[in-house]
Structure 1
Amino acid sequence: MPPGGEGEIEVTFDTGHKKGKQSKTITVESNDPLSPIVNISVMADIEVEFDFETAFIRYGAVNKDKGASKTDFILIKDPNLTKIDSIVTSSKFVKAEIVNKSAAVAGKKELEITLLPGMPIGNLNEMISVYSTLPSKPKIVLNINANVIGDVEVDPMAMTFVISDSNTVLGNQLFTVNIDSHMKDGQRLEILGVTDSDSLLDIKQRTITDGQKYALEITPDIAKLPEEQRFEGHIAITTNSVDQKEIDVTYMIVRRR
């Protein structure tokens, strides 16, 4: 660029799944001795023609016999152009419907997502698809996740240990897995066994409330760690629960080079 000349920077926002007000910073480096580095702030308000307000809903622990409900909003820029044709869920245990139709907020439709009783125990990952008349975007998808439990709640269900080349644990060196009873009629929860599939962990069991609440304190056994960059193992928790006789907890060992 000659002295006194002007340059032009063209900026394109990759909207992706972003919506609403977004800002980015552009750094320009030059051979100007007075201002070798200049930061430029760029802002944009990304309008949404048709999409969910939230891309993902996490329910956490849900009892299989009780179910649970949450709501999300469907964003619609032009209601005259975009009409909802149908709402489809990927499971018979998931129900989704528009609520408060007469009192809908302008540009939004409230969607109630209900997990129905009778769900299978374990990790639930399902989708809700909403079809519309908008030619440019005829379909939007909402992902939902829940940890469906029966008589026993275990948290967390997965953990990751990060190991350095020198066999030093980076980040969390200790994970505590909580085991809570939801048994009825005064039944007592008994932990009959805890087994590591590859004997790579040091697991200590503690009783918080006898018959009701227990905890597992888990650390990796440095002397036994595998050489693989990524290793997946499993902890089997055996109980006297009719619903959950054996509960699987996953762990990962990741080596950071």
Structure 2
Amino acid sequence: MGKIELNNKVVVVAGGAKNLGGLISREMAKEGAKIVVHYHSNKSKSDAENTVKDIVDNGGEAFSIQSDLTKVENVKQLFKAAKDKYGGVDVAVNTAGMVLKKPFVDTTESEYDTMFDVNSKAAYFFIQEAGKSVEDNGKIITILTSLLGAYTGLYSTYAGAKAPVEHFTRAASKEFGGRGISVSAVAPGPMDTPFFYGQEGEDAVAYHKSASALGGLTQIEDIVPIVTFLATDGWWITGQTILANGGYTTK
């Protein structure tokens, strides 16, 4: 297969309004892709609108859509909206997630259910619907966490809810591979975004910064080229979870 380009491809980005998802949306649009910017709640509405505006102002095509992807019907509607607007879907990227740092013995049933709904259930049905919706030779990419390679406490529900997505990725890659669809995951280290700082104290931040072999926190700019590569010339990588963390942890 020759060089694969994003020009005129349709890309659905779950959690595509801000932080990593926002940068993926904007950078893929620069490559000529048409972007569907998903966002979860009204808190991210202005971010989604700004991301779409940036894309359109730079000559690209994009629109935003709000929905709670823990509801399977909403996942279906997200892909339907993309196909109704642009005629199909070529790449599906799920950056959505929710973090909880809490002692095991203090975690409530409600917190457990929410974490697994957001990080596991939504990811499963996003991959499922992407498998039904993307064109042959499409790409499906999920953002996970490098805590999957860590030996640590306090993140039992976050890392625990992300862990099944590794197997979802493997299983889907086997089942969808006959259509040339690659399914992969990227697991960044602690990223320098508000998503990270919301639950970390100063000591923890200092530790995470010092823990990577290359020094410092993961930047969203470090991850976007990897996602773009997997969506294009890196399509032969499938069924894999890539820990992209500057040597923060490994398996």
- Band the TM-score falls in, shorter-chain normalisation: under 0.3
- Larger helix percent: 2
Structure number with higher relative contact order (C-alpha < 8 Å, ≥ 6 residues apart):
2
Structure index of larger Rg? 1
TM normalised by structure 1 equals: 0.25
